[in-house]
A and B are shown apart, each in its own frame.
Chain A
Amino acid sequence: MTAVVLNEVRKGFYLDSVALMRLSREIATIPGVVEAALMMGTPSNIAIMRNAGLLSGDISTQGSDLILAVKAETEQAARAALDDALKALDKPKSQAGGKSAWRPRSIASAVAATPNANIALISVPGEFAAAEARKALNRGLHVLMFSDNVSIADELSLKQQAREAGLLMMGPDCGTAIINGAPLAFANKLKRGKVGIIGASGTGTQEISCLVSEAGVGISHAIGVGGRDLKKDIGGITTLMAIDALDADPATERVVLVSKPPHPDVAKAVVARIAKSPKIYTVCFIGAASAELPKNAGFAATLKQAAEHALGGKKIGAGFDPAAVGARLPRRKGAGRIEGLFAGGTLCAEAQVVLTAGGRKVASNAPIPGVASLDSKDSAGCDRMIDLGADEYTQGRPHPMIDPSVRDDALRAALVNPDIAVVLLDLVIGYGAHADPASHLAGVVAGRGDNAPVLIASVTGTELDPQVRSAQIKRLESAGIIVTPSNEQACELALAVINADAKVNRHANA
């Protein structure tokens, strides 16, 4: 049977991407519907829909137009589903802030009506994000730009403008921040305390802040800078401003800086600035083996080590013994590989650090220095660490932290792959994340065979989060998934399972 594709365009109709994803999913569940997608009519979205076979012919739209696409078994089913989608669009938009809340149509009118506004949280499509950030900066607002797909030229220009005005420009592609206790975008609810964080990596910031908070010491602020801030083009503009801000902040006693390895020139400038600080620093350039640091700073090779350094040496999950736990777990006969399926990019990077230090050959779609790229010849037979938040998995789809089903196909394939001994998983909870990712994951792995790989997971989150960390752990454990105190320890346990009779090869943690 040939599927039928029907399209409809709503001129000048905007809904945010998460709302559109949700409605697309609802329409896709209608009997007879094969696939459904509702997307704004930007050139990149049109290309995605065309590649997915969801456009029936030529289509002419602007970025302000909404395209509806339904692929169904029959024309009748497609037409009925399209009608349902159109009816759903005609329902009044939900009123953020309550039914009676007045909604300004622009940043200018929002600021005019709310003179004490001090920060803009921008998550519009990337092609419009720089323009909105500029409007916010022009009106004296600090900016957290959650949007990605912003050019590096725009990023530099916005950060220069922000610096000139004394404003923080966090992002683009800044997934998380906590300012004065307020969790912004994907952030966790944390204890307040003396540790400040400057993060160029979202899930790195989340893992460190959660480990510190759960250990009982809290977070003063977590300032996101965006993943490219420490690249040569940007020169660490926001990072250097964040250091100034936290140095001057009386609530902050220690500071953690987490990033992918910076450009050497930028690293030198940042380290020189840290040397002038009166505060104690922890530097985690995840994927770098070391860094030359001043006396007031310590290097951490992993996120867990960074949290422990910030805690003054207190061990996280001290009672957890990967060798002892690993010895009790069954080893799948004939299997020798570890497969990591990560929602968090920095958690995927940390896994590569731990596994390579443990003597494993590793490949990844987001390789750290020294790790093979998945599409290279060197990747054959390697452990595979997959960042499911990377562009190739999320183009036209929500991030796996919002929609954990992004991981489902890869996980189902791993469960029946005879080469895989261990599957490493992460759950990132908190504001912005899926309401119950553990139950989703448990549902996917339910009914797996007796000879399935060992499943090991960690949960990045806190007891204060809406999903409640301990409840998520309990749900995973009820599904037979081994849960460790941190992502690093999940990787150490994977090593212990693989090397069941060998001493766990601990990396430079001493």
Chain B
Amino acid sequence: MSQKREQTRCQALLTNDLTVVNVGLEGFVKDLQDCGIAVVHVDWSPPAGGDPKMAALLAKLGV
């Protein structure tokens, strides 16, 4: 693990403007927009036909 890289990425999060990818409750989108935060909402539905085990496997495979 690179300690330096960890510091850089976390510091960047705390100093840069946020751009949020919202996955799930749509109500969070308006709250963020009302605060002037950039947000892109994912039109999510359960992957892998709603099979959580298959969804987890696909995520591990990077799909």
Instruction: Mark interface residues in A138-167 (1 if CB within 8 Å of B CB, else 0).
Output: 100110001100000010000000011111
Q: Is the CB of A249 within 8 A of B14?
A: yes
Which chain A positions have C-beta within 8 A of B26? 16, 18-19, 94, 96
Measured between alpha carbons, how far is A425 from B44 in the docked complex, in Å? Answer: 36
Measured between alpha carbons, how far is A105 from B43 in the docked complex, in Å? Answer: 5
Q: Is the CB of B44 within 8 A of A114?
A: no
Choose among A122, A166, A241 the residue that contacts B24 (Cβ–Cβ < 8 A): A122
Measured between alpha carbons, how far is A180 from B25 in the docked complex, in Å? Answer: 22
Name the interface size band of chain B: 35 or more
List the one stretch of A58-66, A439-447, A484-492 in contact with chain B: A58-66
Choose among B17, B24, B59 the residue that contacts A16 (Cβ–Cβ < 8 A): B24
Which chain A positions have C-beta within 8 A of B11? 245, 248-249
Number of interface residues of A (CB under 8 A): 77
Closest to B16 in A: A118
Given contact pairs A121-B24, A124-B24, A128-B55, enumerate 9 new A-B contacts (beta carbons under 8 Å): A18-B26, A62-B46, A62-B50, A117-B40, A119-B13, A124-B44, A127-B52, A183-B31, A245-B13
Measured between alpha carbons, how far is A111 from B23 in the docked complex, in Å? Answer: 12
- Known contacts A97-B40, A244-B10; decide if A134 and B59 are in contact (CB<8 Å): yes
Choose among B2, B21, B47, B60 the residue that contacts A121 (Cβ–Cβ < 8 A): B21
Check A113 for interface membership: any CB of B closer than 8 A. yes
Choose among B5, B18, B38, B50 the residue that contacts A63 (Cβ–Cβ < 8 A): B50
CB distance from B1 to the nearest CB of A (A): 6
Q: Is the CB of B45 within 8 A of A131?
A: no
The chain B residues found within 8 Å of chain A, CB to CB, are 1-2, 5-35, 37-47, 49-52, 55-56, 58-60, 62
Q: Is the CB of A119 within 8 A of B21?
A: yes
Q: Is the CB of A131 within 8 A of B52?
A: yes
CB distance from B27 to the nearest CB of A (A): 6
Q: Is the CB of A130 within 8 A of B56?
A: yes
Q: Is the CB of A63 within 8 A of B52?
A: yes
Measured between alpha carbons, how far is A163 from B5 in the docked complex, in Å? Answer: 10
Closest to A163 in B: B1
Closest to A13 in B: B45
Choose among B16, B18, B25, B39 the residue that contacts A18 (Cβ–Cβ < 8 A): B25
Within 8 A of B (CB), among A222-269: 241, 244-246, 248-249, 251
Could you say which of B26, B50, B55 has the most chain A C-beta atoms within 10 Å of its C-beta? B50
Q: Is the CB of B28 within 8 A of A180?
A: no
Q: Is the CB of A121 within 8 A of B22?
A: yes
CB distance from B60 to the nearest CB of A (A): 7
Which chain A positions have C-beta within 8 A of B21? 107, 110-111, 114, 117, 119-121, 136, 141
Which chain A positions have C-beta within 8 A of B30? 96
Instruction: Mark interface residues in A153-193 (1 if CB within 8 Å of B CB, else 0).
Output: 01000000001111110000000000111111100010000
CB distance from A77 to the nearest CB of B (A): 30
- Known contacts A18-B25, A131-B47, A249-B11; decide if A110 and B55 are in contact (CB<8 Å): no
Q: Is the CB of A179 within 8 A of B25?
A: no
Closest to B4 in A: A166
Choose among B24, B40, B45, B52 the residue that contacts A123 (Cβ–Cβ < 8 A): B24
Which chain B positions have C-beta within 8 A of A147? 24
Which chain B positions have C-beta within 8 A of A185? 28
Could you say which of B12, B16, B26 has the most chain A C-beta atoms within 10 Å of its C-beta? B26
Check A103 for interface membership: any CB of B closer than 8 A. yes
Within 8 A of B (CB), among A206-231: 220-221
Check A431 for interface membership: any CB of B closer than 8 A. yes
Q: Is the CB of B28 within 8 A of A164?
A: no
List 4 tightest A-B contacts by C-beta distance, closest first: A63-B50, A64-B50, A123-B24, A166-B6
